Chain A
Amino acid sequence: MRPARRLDPIDRVIALVLGVGYVLLLLSTVKDLGYARDEGFYFDAADAYGRWFSDLWRDAGAAMAGRDRPWSVNREHPALIKSLFALCHLWLQKDAHLFALEGTSYRFPAMVLAGAGLSLVYTWGARVRGRSAGIAAALLLGAMPRFFYQSHLACFDIPIVTLWLACAYCWWRAVSGGGAAWVPLTGLAFGLALDTKHNSWFLPFALLTHAALLEARDRLPWRRPEAEAEQTAQRELLGTRRRRMLGALLAMATLGPLVFWALWPWLWSRFVFARLAEYAAFHLGHEYYNMEFFGRTYWEPPMPLGYAWVMTAATVPAITLALAVSGMGLSLRAPLGRVRGWWRARASQIRNALPRARATDDPGGATLLWAIGLGISYAAWLSPKTPIFGGTKHWMTAYPFLCLFAGLAFGELVRRARVLLARWWPRIAPRASAMRRLARGPLPEMALAAAVMAAPITETVRSHPWGLSSYTPLVGGAAGAATLGLNRTFWGYTTGAVVEWLNREAPRGAKVYVHDTSWPAWQMLREEGRLRRDIEGAGSLQGADLALYHHEQHMAGQEYQAWVAFGTTQPAHVAGLDGVPVIWIYRPAAAR
């Protein structure tokens, strides 16, 4: 592995373009997407926090005295991201009226963090393997259908992906020769991650493992230089790194909890430890929700151990996975080669034949950290007790690392293509100098990128606004997944895909049974005018004029309730992805 390269201004521009471009793409597609169940709860929480922020501005003393009540809303999740939802709604929507849809103002901070995630992936990939690797890694992350769907939402799943990655990146910069500022930045990023979602609890394990493995790696015989001067240089380098590692861990242990506490006013209480225990207990003993997997609904342990792997294979584009596996193989090639060489040298007792690695070779262990990030993000699903109800979103922190490996393979692919063209092209067309120039220029990169990105981009674009119903060709697409009995949708967000039909067909003042749509999500559709304001939501079928049904295996009873209540089994409208029904609507037989 080469030492990390320095970024130049062009890299910063590329990172910015990738991030801003992705946010603009999300903004341009958000109007088609209904609100997910959990978003509705976070709207409520953000509104409560927003009122508190307004009170704080007007009368800080009173707001501080009455802080417990607003900050107790949705206290099972930390406050940072919901606070951003609240502030964005207050400043950018209520004051500046920046967004066409009210709900977008809550969603915007998570979109920005999604864009920041892509920028960061580019930055890391470009530092480790060059510009094309970085671009490929960022684009492959953005072109994952599930990541794209989640990136629109006012939820914590994408923010934690970015902050998890940010913490790992700060750590890597701290231990791989970056400035000393990366040490406290690691602690700060950890604190922000802690205040985002509980996936952050795995970060210390990941970074401690990385530190331990780096230490072990540099004790390997082929990493010990022969020359005195080199030994001194290595001792200095490792000493600095050790100090940085300790400093970063210390920052995580001190600054992390401090930031976590400071940004979550619910913890500003003399019951802070009891509240922390309550928060931890909620997630350590989380209720098991239903999730269909291969035609069976799982709702209690043991959960299927293959769930995370199968769902990753079924939802992440195959080329992204293939590139990632190739990238992992490539990053193993050099260390394995050294092990083999050392073994041979030892067997033949030729000491001078020992293969040497320079002390400066990959001092921060970037690919090792990626591998650890990937492994730790999936580790929880090695236990049959880990809930699976979140579909793929719960291990999404692994995806940037997956894409960084994929970018690494893409970089190597470009390199090999250039070698091939440089050595082969003259034989085919010795006089075609223009083509030779093209081969040296960006053509191979662009051609390979077009080929590699075509499937992920097409799958992602076509998945919208049915992100959770989207599956890759590995399982036969949406139809194949439905046949296999993989979950078709959850969270009730597909109501957004039928508002047009409701606006057209619902009688004046109609009552609609909302099924899995949460109340705040339904209300948001009405308030922002996507749904006619005279159409009311109903929590039961009695008296309803129309009934929604979002298909999930364990919710099938909701459809049967509509059959009996409305005296018909004939849906009035069916909508879904690629010929597969995802949401359908019933209307009483008498009203037809």
Chain B
Amino acid sequence: MTSRRRRALLGTVLALPLLALVELALHLWFAARPPAFDDWRALAAPVAELRQDGDLCVVAPPWAEPLARAALGDRSSRCATWPAATARRTARPSRSPSSASGPPTWRPGARRRAASRKFLLRRLENPAPTPVVFDFTEHVRPPLVSVGQVTPDAEPDAPPRSLDCAFEERAAVLAGGLGGHPTFPPQRFVCSRKNPFYNVSTTVVAAGEGFLPRRCIWAPPPPAGRGELRIRFSGVPLGQVIQGHSGMYWILERMRAGAEVTLVARVDGEEVGRVTHLDGQGWAPFSFPLGAHAGAERADVELAVSSPDPSARHFCFEADSR
């Protein structure tokens, strides 16, 4: 056997077992790399030290977020995904420095290793936070808010008919279950006793193709397909714009078979903007400049929802003024 042949033979005999052993080593390394579930508990104290009021918490990689929530408790309920433009700072548990980088414009602050160096905690500062003047999503309750349906009468000259939706503090929680509607919390404006689906409340929906959680105002268009569902906020402060996002449960929207839904914003009776949500747009942004109403200390804001066909319109939106 020539030495060349022998080398080739040796190569083939060794290559596959070597590959197998490399695979074994890599398997064990990848398995041991993420922190164990119990390791996450050790994060509570260092995160509490690092964190300040108003901080958002962002977890990398995103799939580890339930572990952060389990370890840090409901104080971490402001764990979010980017962008977090309104936050001044973020406390960010992360598994490795490479995955801990936030938006490039955010300034890195304090950083520390925690729990046997398995975690890297970083504090990032937003260099240009946009303060929210009023968050509509977080104030859906009386006396600030009232809800009603306004339907034009069949007679052209007759005044429109209106229906008030009563607020209930302790209604029964309703959840859609597998493939169903989002949960309607106990505190909600009930617009129909027969149709519990027709209510206004703050909930969380899986909107957009990524099925990410969106805290929003549940506002289905009126069931008859005529008129508007109006959500009135009385005497609220305003910034320069009303902005937010709208969408619905992606499983419904992705079929692109539903009717459009229109959201209209009025300030002191004057329309300042409208957006029409079409199926497939996902969690779509909108922004209404406030013009002469910008900076008002107290204004009445009406957000109205309508659709020519309300079938399976799980419409939800979040809005604030900044």
Which A residues form the contact surface with B (CB < 8 A)? 295-297, 299, 317-319, 322-323, 326, 409, 413, 416-417, 419-420, 423-424, 448, 451-455, 458-459, 462, 472-473, 476-480, 482-483, 488, 513, 515-516, 539-542, 553-565, 568-576, 578-581, 584, 589
Additional pairs, 18, CB under 8 Å, beyond known A413-B17, A557-B249: A295-B210, A319-B16, A416-B12, A451-B21, A458-B24, A473-B23, A477-B33, A480-B30, A541-B183, A542-B174, A542-B175, A568-B74, A569-B79, A570-B69, A578-B31, A579-B34, A581-B37, A589-B74
Q: Answer whether residue B10 sits at the interface, using C-beta atoms and an 8 A cutoff.
A: yes
List residues of chain A with CB within 8 A of the CB of B13.
Answer: 413, 416-417, 420
Cβ-defined partner of B182 (8 Å) among A455, A513, A564 = A564
> CA separation between A580 and B32, bound complex, in Å?
11
Residues 4-34 of B, flagged 1 when their CB comes within 8 A of A and 0 if not, give: 0010011011001101110110111111111
List residues of chain B with CB within 8 A of the CB of A322.
Answer: 16, 19
List residues of chain A with CB within 8 A of the CB of B177.
Answer: 513, 539-541, 558, 561
Scan residues 167-214 of chain B and give those whose CB is less than 8 A from a CB of chain A. 172-178, 180, 182-185, 203-206, 209-213
> CA separation between A317 and B178, bound complex, in Å?
34
Decide if B21 touches A482 in the complex (CB within 8 Å): no
Decide if A297 touches B67 in the complex (CB within 8 Å): no
Main secondary structure of the interface of A (DSSP, over half): helix
Decide if A299 touches B254 in the complex (CB within 8 Å): yes
List residues of chain A with CB within 8 A of the CB of B249.
Answer: 557
How many residues on the B side are at the interface (Cβ–Cβ under 8 A)? 63
Q: How far is the CB of A459 from chain B (nearest CB, A)?
A: 6
> CA separation between A318 and B26, bound complex, in Å?
11
A417 — nearest CB in chain B belongs to which residue?
A: B13
Decide if A561 touches B175 in the complex (CB within 8 Å): yes
List residues of chain B with CB within 8 A of the CB of A458.
Answer: 24, 27-28
7 contacts between A and B (CB under 8 A): A451-B17, A472-B27, A540-B180, A556-B213, A569-B69, A569-B76, A579-B36
Cβ-defined partner of A542 (8 Å) among B20, B70, B172 = B172
Residues 26-51 of B, flagged 1 when their CB comes within 8 A of A and 0 if not, give: 11111111111100000000000000
> CA separation between A388 and B79, bound complex, in Å?
33
List 9 A-B pairs, minimum CB-CB distance, nearest first: A579-B34, A477-B30, A557-B206, A473-B26, A451-B17, A564-B183, A541-B175, A560-B204, A319-B20
* Known contacts A458-B24, A462-B31, A416 near B206 by CB under 8 Å: no
B218 — nearest CB in chain A belongs to which residue?
A: A564
List residues of chain B with CB within 8 A of the CB of A569.
Answer: 69, 74, 76-77, 79
Decide if B178 touches A515 in the complex (CB within 8 Å): yes
Tell me which of B9, B35, B211, B212 has the highest count of chain A C-beta atoms within 10 A of its own C-beta. B211
Decide if B182 touches A581 in the complex (CB within 8 Å): no
Decide if B10 touches A317 in the complex (CB within 8 Å): no
List residues of chain B with CB within 8 A of the CB of A568.
Answer: 74
Q: How far is the CB of A209 from chain B (nearest CB, A)?
A: 30
Q: How far is the CB of B163 from chain A (nearest CB, A)?
A: 25
Which B residues form the contact surface with A (CB < 8 A)? 1, 6, 9-10, 12-13, 16-17, 19-21, 23-24, 26-37, 61, 63-64, 66-67, 69-70, 72-74, 76-77, 79, 172-178, 180, 182-185, 203-206, 209-213, 249-251, 254
* Known contacts A319-B16, A578-B30, A579-B37, A556 near B9 by CB under 8 Å: no
Q: How far is the CB of A427 from chain B (nearest CB, A)?
A: 10
Decide if B21 touches A483 in the complex (CB within 8 Å): no
> CA separation between A394 and B20, bound complex, in Å?
27
* Known contacts A417-B13, A556-B211, A560-B182, A574 near B63 by CB under 8 Å: no
Decide if A423 touches B1 in the complex (CB within 8 Å): yes
List residues of chain A with CB within 8 A of the CB of B69.
Answer: 569-571
Q: How far is the CB of A75 from chain B (nearest CB, A)?
A: 24
* Known contacts A553-B211, A578-B34, A413 near B12 by CB under 8 Å: yes
List residues of chain A with CB within 8 A of the CB of B180.
Answer: 540, 561
Tell me which of B10, B30, B174, B185 has the highest count of chain A C-beta atoms within 10 A of its own C-beta. B30
> CA separation between A491 and B77, bound complex, in Å?
29
